[in-house]
């Protein structure tokens, strides 16, 4: 398994590889713009060129772009539905410019909509985005914890979304370990992991799984509360992650950590812990 972190783009893309090297990353995830706002500037060509040059000798792959936090395509009633589709289109195009093979999106909140209406809204938004952004970037749906009105916390919901997507070859899954655990899938022990993977394969298909978000959970199994925590220090624990990173059906996948950080120290600690579980 290739390990990495979500890397900050503060200071520009030209600084990303350096930050990744400090953390001993083999793969990375990043935003293409401010994750907490709608406004954005065009990419700076010189900054992107420097980023590409630094990538060539870095050994970092694959690259994952993550959509900002504000877009929500799970409710057509939201005044931001159309703007959210625009946001997906923009980042599908930016992923190609930046050399990322994947774009990760949060499935979203249904708000006042029914579950079926939300599922239809997500699928239609993806279809519209794919029609407008004609490239080979794979869009990864990230499972949710089921907090509030979130959808996509059950594999069956994600399956229904995929069924509504016309260009199915352009869609995949990012399985967030903490979210799955918080949604009720027990990933803290071997038997629970086997049951979860069997369910995932039967409902969605493991061929669609392209990435793991390796986050421990600060809240208990089935809490429906999204709280990431340090590897081995949460309710999933070291043994859960030991089984996950060595599992024959998962160990070929990249694993990105989104664990809490105030400084580089926490990332270095989590990288050491996760690497020590391999083998």
DSSP assignments along the chain, one per residue: -EEEEE---TT-GGGHHHHHHHTT-SEEEE-SS-TT-S--PPPPHHHHHHHHHHHHTT----EEEE--SS---S-TTSTTHHHHHHHHHHHHHHHHHHT-SEEEEE--B-TTS-HHHHHHHHHHHHHHHHHH--S-PEEEEEP----TTB---SHHHHHHHHHT-S-GGGEEEEEEHHHHHHTT---SSHHHHHHHHHHHHHHT-GGGEEEEE--EESS-TT-----EE-TTTSSSHHHHHHHHHH-TTTTTSEEEE----SSHHHHHHHHHHHHHT--
Give CA–CA dist 5/64, Å, rounded.
Answer: 10
Name the catalytic one among 44, 49, 69, 191: 69
Name the catalytic one among 142, 150, 182, 267: 142
Q: What are phi and psi of 93, to 5 degrees?
A: -70, -40
176 labelled catalytic? yes
226 labelled catalytic? yes
210 labelled catalytic? no
Q: Name the DSSP letter for residue 150.
A: B
40 labelled catalytic? no
Name the catalytic one among 23, 33, 66, 210: 66
2 labelled catalytic? no
142 labelled catalytic? yes
Give CA–CA dist 165/266, Å, rounded.
Answer: 39
Question: How much is the pLDDT for 88?
Answer: 98
| Integer angstrom CA distances of residue 115 from 84, 131, 149, 161, 179 | 19, 25, 9, 11, 19
SS3 172: strand
Question: How much is the pLDDT for 272?
Answer: 98
The pTM score is 0.97
36 labelled catalytic? yes
154 labelled catalytic? no
Name the catalytic one among 91, 93, 154, 176: 176
Residue 77 tokens read as: 């009633």
Question: How much is the pLDDT for 270?
Answer: 98
Give CA–CA dist 43/33, Å, rounded.
Answer: 9
Token pair 């997906």 is found at 88
Question: How much is the pLDDT for 143?
Answer: 98
Question: How much is the pLDDT for 56?
Answer: 95
Question: How much is the pLDDT for 66?
Answer: 98
247 labelled catalytic? no
179 labelled catalytic? yes
- Choose which CATH entry (3.20.20.150, 3.40.190.10, 3.40.50.10090, 3.40.47.10) describes domain 2-276: 3.20.20.150
Closest CA to 63 of 170, 196, 210, 228: 210
Give CA–CA dist 158/179, Å, rounded.
Answer: 14
Q: What is the pLDDT of residues 69-98, one digit of tens each?
A: 999 999 999 999 999 999 999 999 999 999
Residue 223 tokens read as: 């809490």
Name the catalytic one among 81, 226, 235, 267: 226
**pLDDT per residue of the chain (279 residues) written in tens, 0 to 9:** 999 999 999 999 999 999 999 999 999 999 999 999 998 899 999 999 999 999 999 999 999 999 999 999 999 999 999 999 999 999 999 999 999 999 999 999 999 999 999 999 999 999 999 999 999 999 999 999 999 999 999 999 999 999 999 999 999 999 999 999 999 999 999 999 999 999 999 999 999 999 999 999 999 999 999 999 999 999 999 999 999 999 999 999 999 999 999 999 999 999 999 999 999
Domain spans of the chain, in order of start: 2-276
Q: What is the pLDDT of residues 138-167, one digit of tens each?
A: 999 999 999 999 999 999 999 999 999 999
């Amino acid at each position: 398994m290739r390990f990495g972190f979500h890397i900050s783009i503060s200071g520009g893309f030209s600084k990303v590889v350096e930050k990744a090297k400090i953390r001993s990353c083999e793969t990375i995830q990043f935003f293409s713009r401010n994750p907490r706002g709608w406004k954005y500037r065009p990419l700076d060509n010189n900054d992107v060129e420097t980023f590409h040059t630094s990538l060539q000798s870095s050994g970092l792959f694959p690259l994952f772009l993550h959509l900002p936090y504000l877009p929500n395509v799970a409710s057509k009633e939201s005044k931001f539905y159309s703007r959210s589709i625009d946001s997906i289109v923009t980042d599908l195009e930016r992923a190609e410019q930046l050399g990322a093979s994947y774009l990760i999106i949060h499935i979203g909140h249904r708000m006042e909509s029914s579950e079926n209406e939300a599922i239809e809204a997500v699928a239609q938004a993806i279809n519209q985005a794919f029609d407008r952004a004609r490239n080979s970037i794979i869009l990864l749906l990230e499972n949710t914890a089921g907090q509030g009105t979130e959808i996509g916390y059950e594999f069956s919901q994600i399956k229904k979304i995929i069924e509504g997507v016309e260009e199915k070859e352009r869609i995949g899954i990012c399985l967030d370990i903490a979210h799955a655990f918080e949604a009720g899938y027990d990933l803290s022990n071997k038997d629970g992991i086997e049951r979860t993977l069997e369910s995932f394969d039967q409902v969605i298909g493991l061929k669609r799984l392209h990435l793991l978000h390796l986050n421990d959970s600060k809240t208990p199994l089935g809490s429906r509360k999204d709280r990431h925590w340090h590897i081995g220090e949460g309710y999933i624990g070291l043994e859960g992650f030991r089984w996950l990173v060595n599992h024959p059906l998962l160990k070929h996948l990249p694993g990105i950590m989104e664990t809490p950080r105030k400084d580089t120290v926490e990332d270095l600690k989590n990288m050491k812990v996760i690497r020590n579980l391999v083998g």
